[in-house]
């Protein structure tokens, strides 16, 4: 609790300190961190490598966007709630089917589901559900969806104040998600997930409902990722099929691995590191992908167990020196 | 009525027919040893009882209930504790966390049944293995072989079982530690828990068992008192290879 308050105190003054671009990047980092926390639950804690979580990220934003556009809804809270609930329901269904398989077969199933949903958006089938208007949007945006500035707590925010206001919402969501992840990691449920990750057969032999708990983990992680997706949609004012592609899931996994998939701080540090590297690579126009690849390779070699593991090792050594004296 | 009753069990590992019409039973407050050489079918028998291997034919009954088709987690929740050959300690969890999972599952089960969970689980565990108290903060990865076995048995006890399945509980232990484990088995029995031990050393098994089964090539070749087995030249010849 005190950690959450400290994080909130550190994050709240940022709109007054940072310039707009940096504030947007910090917001993007927090959104990515929330999504990575979801990946941490399913991959780092439960040991399930899912390439399907891009679906829940994007579908959450798409569902909210469709509701706002076709239902003439202007409330950010309704957009967020509807998107997250829809996406969590989808994760419950896809998770129920996916956890019937294990290891690589589970991964392939999630990848297949992800690409099925991606193809439904990229070929316009989902837009067709909304008739001529939906078809028109599809042809104009090529499968993307524009999301206008929505009213926060019933208040229409003027454009200059919108990003700082949304930043505050994202900061609260980030702190709440981080606190929830902290609870999960230390709960008997979290321990049971770790036991399943370490040895599913032995976990079953001590009475853990392996498949059921894997399903719960999948849904829980889907909720984190869905929340991040809705926030991303409003922050960037659009959602595109790019976020539906399995490569986006790979990006989340990469960020979690970079940060340290088994450490609590792993997804947070991984998201910050990934956004930082992406930003550094964007300086080289035309070579962004190449530069990002080189930086990622360097990061993997520099932080073999993930950035959080390296930080923990450094802290341990410093403590050892302090305890050992001069 | 026996606590555990196995009748005509046949189990395969892939295409290999490992258990052939196995029949054995364990009564209330009884320590039974299943003795055999490596590869005789001891672990397969234990895993068939625990539900970790599917039984091709035959029945497994526990507390007068047919559990042949039940998955492993349901058997554990019914009261069958299991300590595997490799101890099966979750390496990333501390000893306290390894135990906490079982205690949590017991509390969850008691809650759903409208009962209050028994609070003295830890006291029971520490009375059998006082050493475990000093290991609670240590990760499973950093335990020695003997410590892992102690924690595995403690974790199984934390489920408040009626029956404990111990697979090769004494294997790889120093003689002094083996004596320590024998005492532990007797203490566990005093708590009213029945025990089925898979063991390759007939002398060690005889020291703790009330009854003994000998298994060879997937078939039960002897059932009786430990001293009868020790005096049976043919059984001893088979068990010693």
* Interface predicted TM-score (ipTM) of this complex, two decimals: 0.83
CB atoms within 10 A of CB B236: 14
CA distance B240 to chain A (A): 31
What's the CATH number for B1-79+162-241? Answer: 3.40.50.300
Is pLDDT above 70 for A269? Answer: yes
Query: Which chain B residues are within 8 Å of A204, Cβ to Cβ?
Result: 51-52, 71-73, 76
User: If contacts are CB pairs under 8 Å, which of residues 9-28 in chain A contact chain B?
Assistant: none
* DSSP helix/strand/coil, A284: coil
Of A192, A201, A207, the CB nearest to B77: A207
pLDDT in tens, B121-159: 778 888 888 888 888 899 988 888 888 988 999 988 888
* CB-based contact A205 B82, cutoff 8 Å: yes
Of A188, A197, A206, the CB nearest to B159: A206
* HSE-up of residue A221 (Cα within 13 Å, Cβ side): 36
What's the confidence (pLDDT) of residue B117?
56
pLDDT in tens, A84-112: 999 999 999 999 999 999 889 999 999 99
Which residue in chain A is spatially nearest to B101 when comparing CA positions? A188
* CB-based contact B52 A204, cutoff 8 Å: yes
* CB-based contact A206 B104, cutoff 8 Å: no
User: If contacts are CB pairs under 8 Å, which of residues 173-202 in chain A contact chain B?
Assistant: 188, 191-192, 194-195, 197-199, 201-202
* CB-based contact A205 B159, cutoff 8 Å: no
What's the confidence (pLDDT) of residue A79?
95
Query: Which chain B residues are within 8 Å of A198, Cβ to Cβ?
Result: 90-93
* HSE-up of residue A143 (Cα within 13 Å, Cβ side): 17
What's the confidence (pLDDT) of residue A326?
52
CA distance A209 to chain B (A): 6
Q: Does B73 touch chain A (CB under 8 A)?
A: yes
> At residue A13, what are phi and psi to the nearest 5 degrees?
-75, -5
Beta bridge partners of B26: B4
What's the confidence (pLDDT) of residue B119?
59
What's the confidence (pLDDT) of residue B231?
86
Of A201, A206, A210, the CB nearest to B102: A206
Q: Does A312 touch chain B (CB under 8 A)?
A: no
What's the confidence (pLDDT) of residue B123?
81
User: If contacts are CB pairs under 8 Å, which of residues 150-179 in chain B contact chain A?
Assistant: 155-156, 159
* More confident site: A273 or B60: B60
How far the first Cα of chain A sits from its last, in Å, is 35
CB A67 within 8 A of CB A233: no
> Where in chain B do CATH 3.40.50.300 domains reside?
1-79+162-241
Query: Which chain B residues are within 8 Å of A203, Cβ to Cβ?
Result: 90
Confidence band for A115, pLDDT divided at 50, 70 and 90? very high
- CB-based burial, A200-216: b 16+ in 10 Å, e otherwise: bebbbbbbbbbbebbbb
| Percentage above 70 pLDDT, chain A | 98
Query: Which chain B residues are within 8 Å of A208, Cβ to Cβ?
Result: 73, 101, 105
Whether the CA torsion B127, B133, B136, B142 is positive or negative: it is negative
- The span from the CA of A64 to the CA of B11, in Å, is 54
> At residue B31, what are phi and psi to the nearest 5 degrees?
-105, 120
CA distance A206 to chain B (A): 6
* CB-based contact A204 B77, cutoff 8 Å: no
Show the domains of chain A with their CATH numbers.
2-259 (1.10.3470)
Beta bridge partners of B7: B59
Which residue in chain A is spatially nearest to B141 when comparing CA positions? A198
- The span from the CA of A104 to the CA of A49, in Å, is 8
CB B188 within 8 A of CB B128: yes
Query: Which chain B residues are within 8 Å of A207, Cβ to Cβ?
Result: 73, 76-77, 102, 105, 159
What's the confidence (pLDDT) of residue B158?
87
Question: A163-172, A222-231, B124-133 — which is least confidently predicted?
Answer: B124-133
What's the confidence (pLDDT) of residue A325?
56
CA distance B103 to chain A (A): 9
What's the confidence (pLDDT) of residue A55?
95
pLDDT in tens, A121-158: 999 999 999 988 889 999 988 889 999 999 988 888 88
CB A259 within 8 A of CB A265: yes
Instruction: Work out the mean pLDDT of chain A and round it to a whole number.
Output: 89
Query: Which chain B residues are within 8 Å of A202, Cβ to Cβ?
Result: 84, 88, 90
- The span from the CA of B182 to the CA of B98, in Å, is 23
Confidence band for A64, pLDDT divided at 50, 70 and 90? very high
Token couple for A219? 């849904």
Is pLDDT above 90 for A113? Answer: yes
B19 to B42, B66, B167, B237: CA distances (angstroms):
9, 19, 16, 21
- The span from the CA of A257 to the CA of A305, in Å, is 8
Residue A108: alpha-carbon gap to chain centroid:
20
- The span from the CA of B181 to the CA of B171, in Å, is 11
Question: A12-16, A177-181, A199-203, B43-47 — which is least confidently predicted?
Answer: A12-16
What's the confidence (pLDDT) of residue A279?
82
């Amino acid at each position: 609790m005190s950690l959450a308050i400290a994080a909130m105190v550190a994050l709240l003054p940022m709109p007054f300190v940072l310039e707009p671009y940096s504030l947007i990047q910090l917001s993007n980092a927090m959104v990515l961190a929330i999504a990575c926390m979801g990946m941490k639950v399913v991959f780092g804690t439960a040991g399930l490598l899912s390439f399907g979580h891009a679906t829940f990220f994007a579908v959450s934003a798409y569902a909210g966007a469709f509701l706002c556009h076709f239902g003439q809804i202007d409330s950010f809270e309704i957009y967020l709630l509807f998107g997250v609930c829809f996406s969590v329901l989808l994760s419950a269904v896809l998770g129920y089917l996916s956890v019937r398989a294990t290891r690589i077969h589970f991964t392939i199933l999630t990848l297949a589901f992800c690409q099925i949903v991606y193809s439904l958006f990229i070929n316009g089938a989902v837009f067709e559900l909304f008739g001529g208007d939906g078809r028109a949007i599809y042809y104009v945006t090529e499968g993307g969806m524009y999301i206008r500035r929505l009213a926060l707590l019933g208040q229409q925010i003027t454009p200059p104040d919108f990003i700082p206001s949304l930043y505050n919402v994202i900061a609260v969501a980030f702190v709440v998600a981080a606190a929830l992840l902290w609870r999960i990691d230390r709960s008997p449920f979290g321990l049971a997930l770790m036991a399943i990750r370490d040895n599913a057969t032995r976990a079953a032999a001590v009475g853990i409902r392996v498949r059921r708990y894997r399903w719960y983990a999948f849904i829980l992680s889907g909720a984190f990722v869905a929340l991040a997706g809705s926030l991303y949609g409003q922050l960037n004012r659009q959602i595109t099929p790019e976020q539906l592609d399995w490569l986006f899931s790979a990006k989340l996994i990469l960020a979690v691995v970079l940060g340290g998939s088994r450490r609590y701080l792993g997804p947070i540090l991984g998201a910050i590191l990934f956004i930082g590297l992406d930003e550094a690579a964007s300086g080289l126009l035309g070579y962004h992908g190449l530069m990002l690849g080189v930086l990622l390779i360097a990061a993997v070699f520099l932080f073999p167990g993930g950035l959080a593991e390296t930080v923990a090792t450094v802290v341990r050594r410093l403590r050892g020196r302090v305890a050992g004296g001069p | 009525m026996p606590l555990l009753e196995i009748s005509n069990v046949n189990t395969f590992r892939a295409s290999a027919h490992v258990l052939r019409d196995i029949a054995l039973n364990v009564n209330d407050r009884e320590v039974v040893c299943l003795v055999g050489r490596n590869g005789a079918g001891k672990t397969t028998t234990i895993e068939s009882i625990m539900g970790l291997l599917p039984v091709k034919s035959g029945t497994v009954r526990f507390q007068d209930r047919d559990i042949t088709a039940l998955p492993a987690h349901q058997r554990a929740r019914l009261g069958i504790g299991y300590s595997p050959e490799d101890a099966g300690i979750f390496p990333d969890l501390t000893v306290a966390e390894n135990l906490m999972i079982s205690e949590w599952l017991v509390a969850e089960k008691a809650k759903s049944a409208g009962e209050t969970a028994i609070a003295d689980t830890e006291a029971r565990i520490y009375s059998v293995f006082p050493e475990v108290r000093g290991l609670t903060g240590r990760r499973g990865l950093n335990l020695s072989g003997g410590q892992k076995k102690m924690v595995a048995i403690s974790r199984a006890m934390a489920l408040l079982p009626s029956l404990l399945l111990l697979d090769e509980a004494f294997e790889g232990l120093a003689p002094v530690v083996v004596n320590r484990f024998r005492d532990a088995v007797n203490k566990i029995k005093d708590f009213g828990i029945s025990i089925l031990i898979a063991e390759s050393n007939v002398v060690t098994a005889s020291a703790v068992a009330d009854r003994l089964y000998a298994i060879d090539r997937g078939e039960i070749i002897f059932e009786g008192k430990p001293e009868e087995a020790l005096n049976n030249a043919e059984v001893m010849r088979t068990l010693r290879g």
